[in-house]
Chain A
Amino acid sequence: MKYTLSVLVENHPGVLSKVSGLFSRRGFNIDSLAVGITEDSNISRITIVAHGDEYIIEQLEKQLNKLIPVIKVRTYTDGEFISRELSLIKVNCPAKQRLDIMKIAELMEAKIVDVAINTMTLQFADTLERFETLTDLLKPYGIREIVRTGTVAIEKDSAAQRKPTV
């Protein structure tokens, strides 16, 4: 099961290693991890995408909460949140293929950020699924390099509003 953990932490040196160390020493893998300062400069948000069963997720949440610099942990489930990832994709692009790739970029709403004699670089910010679609489309041309930021996520207020109050 894939899950997204959103961890609010105190913005101190060493906190990231405490958080990531918790995963590695319990043998849990991380698919992606993104860190950034929040609206409060003393607080950072770490967004982690990983997979595991319910037991692992529960344990991770609890163990993360035990870390002193961790302020809040949330596990997002489907439909509750909006997630995005920024990626830069460098694809083979001899002159005769430029139009093809430009069309794909337009179709997928990717931005062309660099064009060279034999390559083109696209900037893409969207969900994981859309990213996979884009890379599937580009694969036949030959992808040279992909750089990804890791997923960031934020709670969807509109979904919370629709929930019946208990």
Chain B
Amino acid sequence: MISGAEIMVKCLQEEGVEIVFGYPGAVICPFFDKLCDTDIKAVLVRQEQNAAHAASGYARALLKVGVCVATSGPGALNLITGIATAYMDSIPMVAITGQVRSDVLGRDVFQEADITGACESFVKHSYLVKNTADLPRVFKEAFHIASTGRPGPVLIDVPVDVQEGTVDSFEYPEKVNIIGYKPSVHGHPMQIKRALEMISKSERPVICAGGGVLTSGSKPKFREFAQKTNIPVVSTMMGIGVMPSEDPLYVGMIGSHGVKAANMTIHNADLVILCGARVGDRAVAAPEQVAERAKVIHIDIDPAEIGKNMKTTIPIVGDMKNVISQMLEDIDYTAPAEWTEKVCKWEEDYVAKPKKFDGFVEPKSFIAKLSSMLRQKAILIADVGQNQIWCANNFKMSDGRFFTSGGMGTMGYSVPAAVGAKFARPNRDVVAVCGDGSFQMSLNELATIAQNNLNVKIIVMQNNVLGMVHELQDIHYNGRYAITELSDVPDFGVIAKAYGIESAVAESNEDAEKYAEKMLKSDKPFILICKVNPKTSSR
């Protein structure tokens, strides 16, 4: 005889899960109890939302499914923001929630919430498991769905009696067979051929790369393609890192918060090759204008993204890795020098010159400097707000990774995601950059960091305001700062001390660089507080 909880744990082992991020509760106890018998590490976060963010950071760092676990009712509900954040950024994740006994479902008993119903629009799929015997199939399907096609979160809600129930034996299915789920991974050869023809005729092509290039693991092939064709590359926020920042072909991030040269490039192109990018409103505010001037080739694993935001001339549905490899094999084209020179000229002409204020750290140049101090393959995780834009436009790397909550823009993402990323990649530099607003949304995770002695570095850009909205109020609301002032910001150094974490306060770039050096040398967690002038703009 084997219990449902044991089956759940065995399923995780079968899937090669090494770590789960979670928070306990009465109806998920059977699962956690059985988890103790295995090598799977259970990391206790300090609020369930952060379990999902940590699983997200972990998944991104390893390109592997991240797992988070919470109890029923409030525990599950707290997960929602994290699940939705992962959904928007196509992060492979399995969220497991305990549920009240199946015979009292729907009676509004203590800590009951219809979590599968509540999560409907933020999950790739969800299960409410009614029979212990269904668990192996459900887990197999969940991991398959989360990690294939366009990745995304899958929720498994397991009533406590299903965890306690027993069946005769455990057998993990070898294959999944879901008739309605067969993502097409190979691009249609005819479409690829047409795309190559279109590229060969273009005079001003540009590649716009999104997160899909990174999640599909096709970065090396992608770089090869760009280099072979000499086509300039711009990226969305999710696509940062597809090219080395200093590569002459890489122009920068597009969009309302992006680099001017990148926007100039995409708006002057006669052919836009969208690679794993959904071009959300923040990336291209007026996609119809781009599509009017340029032909559009859109490569994406998710057919629903093609034509959703930008009119497409040639759609190619398939896994980026397969499509780009195929294109690489058959392409014989070099972008005209006239065009690439023009793009380079824009890059030179539109260099932003950050304004410095005495007694403050200038964050843009500091992030650029910090990049050079980090080891190769470092992971920088930006939170949401001005800090996100400073990082997106100034984090320079050749092979590092940049994580952020791109689609949902969830404040408080960086610290828990850094926890997950550090567990995934203990030998890499993992730095979370947040503002004083976003830091205060998840500083409870300092306890998780301290408990696990996790070598996570946190940089807090403290400007005593909620900078992004503050800036918006400057522009659109005549400088009336409605609830954006964080007056009497707590002494973060004292808070750090309370958790036994070392910290330093920088009031100039020299300070910041000096402390950053110290921070990166230490093998312990560290919080670097940078005082930033609230007048510093995001771009």
A interface residues with partner B (beta carbon < 8 Å): 9-10, 14, 17-18, 21, 25, 58-59, 62-63, 65-72
Contact of B121 among A25, A58, A68, A69 (CB under 8 A): A25
Residue B110 CB within 8 A of the other chain: no
Closest to A10 in B: B180
Assess the B180–A62 pair: CB atoms within 8 A.
no
Q: Nearest-CB distance from B281 to chain A (Å)?
A: 16
Contacts of B48 in A (CB 8 A): none
Q: Nearest-CB distance from B309 to chain A (Å)?
A: 11
Cα A68 to Cα B179 with chains together (Å): 8
Cα A10 to Cα B356 with chains together (Å): 61
Smallest CB-CB A-B distances: 5 pairs? A62-B304, A68-B125, A71-B180, A68-B181, A70-B180
Contact of B303 among A17, A62, A71 (CB under 8 A): A62
Cα A62 to Cα B309 with chains together (Å): 13
Contacts of B181 in A (CB 8 A): 68
Cα A84 to Cα B317 with chains together (Å): 36
Assess the A59–B304 pair: CB atoms within 8 A.
yes
Residue B442 CB within 8 A of the other chain: no
Q: Nearest-CB distance from A39 to chain B (Å)?
A: 15
Q: How large is the interface on B (under 10, 10 to 19, 20 to 34, 35 or more residues)?
A: 10 to 19
Assess the A65–B303 pair: CB atoms within 8 A.
yes
Closest to A70 in B: B180
Return the CB mask of B64-83 against A: 1 if under 8 Å, else 0: 00000000000000000000
Closest to A58 in B: B307
Contacts of B180 in A (CB 8 A): 9-10, 67-72
Cα A141 to Cα B125 with chains together (Å): 51
B140-193 at interface with A (beta carbon < 8 Å): 145, 178-181
Cα A54 to Cα B310 with chains together (Å): 15
Cα A6 to Cα B308 with chains together (Å): 22
Assess the A59–B302 pair: CB atoms within 8 A.
no
Cα A8 to Cα B536 with chains together (Å): 55
Contacts of B128 in A (CB 8 A): 14
Closest to B130 in A: A13
Q: Nearest-CB distance from A165 to chain B (Å)?
A: 19
Q: Nearest-CB distance from A69 to chain B (Å)?
A: 6
Cα A58 to Cα B308 with chains together (Å): 9
Contact of B179 among A14, A58, A71 (CB under 8 A): A71
Q: List 16 A-B contacts (CB under 8 A).
A: A10-B179, A14-B116, A14-B128, A18-B120, A21-B120, A21-B121, A58-B307, A62-B303, A62-B304, A63-B304, A68-B125, A68-B145, A68-B180, A68-B181, A69-B180, A72-B180
Contacts of A21 in B (CB 8 A): 120-121
Q: Nearest-CB distance from B316 to chain A (Å)?
A: 15
Contacts of B178 in A (CB 8 A): 68
Q: Which of B116, B117, B179, B303 has the most CB of A within 10 A?
A: B179
Residue B10 CB within 8 A of the other chain: no
Return the CB mask of B118-134 against A: 1 if under 8 Å, else 0: 00110011001000000
B99-122 at interface with A (beta carbon < 8 Å): 116-117, 120-121
Cα A58 to Cα B124 with chains together (Å): 20
Contacts of A14 in B (CB 8 A): 116, 128
- Taking A17-B120, A68-B181 as known contacts, 8 extra A-B pairs with beta carbons closer than 8 A to each other, sorted by chain A number, are A14-B128, A58-B307, A62-B303, A62-B304, A65-B303, A65-B304, A68-B125, A68-B178
Cα A122 to Cα B179 with chains together (Å): 42
Assess the B302–A66 pair: CB atoms within 8 A.
yes
Contacts of A67 in B (CB 8 A): 180
Q: Which of A66, A67, A69 has the most CB of B within 10 A?
A: A66
Contact of B124 among A10, A68, A70, A71 (CB under 8 A): A68
Contacts of A71 in B (CB 8 A): 179-180
Return the CB mask of B275-315 against A: 1 if under 8 Å, else 0: 00000000000000000000000000011100110000000
Cα A71 to Cα B303 with chains together (Å): 15
Q: Nearest-CB distance from B88 to chain A (Å)?
A: 14
Q: Nearest-CB distance from A137 to chain B (Å)?
A: 43
Cα A10 to Cα B141 with chains together (Å): 15
Contact of A66 among B116, B117, B304 (CB under 8 A): B304
Q: Nearest-CB distance from A59 to chain B (Å)?
A: 6
B293-344 at interface with A (beta carbon < 8 Å): 302-304, 307-308
Contacts of B125 in A (CB 8 A): 68
Q: Nearest-CB distance from A127 to chain B (Å)?
A: 30
Cα A108 to Cα B304 with chains together (Å): 44
Cα A112 to Cα B181 with chains together (Å): 46
Q: Nearest-CB distance from B131 to chain A (Å)?
A: 13
Q: Nearest-CB distance from A8 to chain B (Å)?
A: 8
Q: Nearest-CB distance from A75 to chain B (Å)?
A: 15
Cα A62 to Cα B315 with chains together (Å): 13
Contacts of A59 in B (CB 8 A): 304, 308
Q: Nearest-CB distance from A116 to chain B (Å)?
A: 39
Closest to A59 in B: B308
Q: Nearest-CB distance from B311 to chain A (Å)?
A: 10
Q: Nearest-CB distance from A123 to chain B (Å)?
A: 35
Cα A66 to Cα B178 with chains together (Å): 13
Closest to A62 in B: B304
Q: Nearest-CB distance from B179 to chain A (Å)?
A: 5
Closest to A24 in B: B121
Closest to B150 in A: A66
Cα A104 to Cα B124 with chains together (Å): 52
Q: Nearest-CB distance from B353 to chain A (Å)?
A: 42
Q: Which of A18, A25, A68 has the most CB of B within 10 A?
A: A68
Closest to A18 in B: B120
Contacts of A66 in B (CB 8 A): 302, 304
Closest to A72 in B: B180
Closest to B149 in A: A66
Cα A25 to Cα B121 with chains together (Å): 8
Q: Nearest-CB distance from B460 to chain A (Å)?
A: 36
Closest to B152 in A: A66
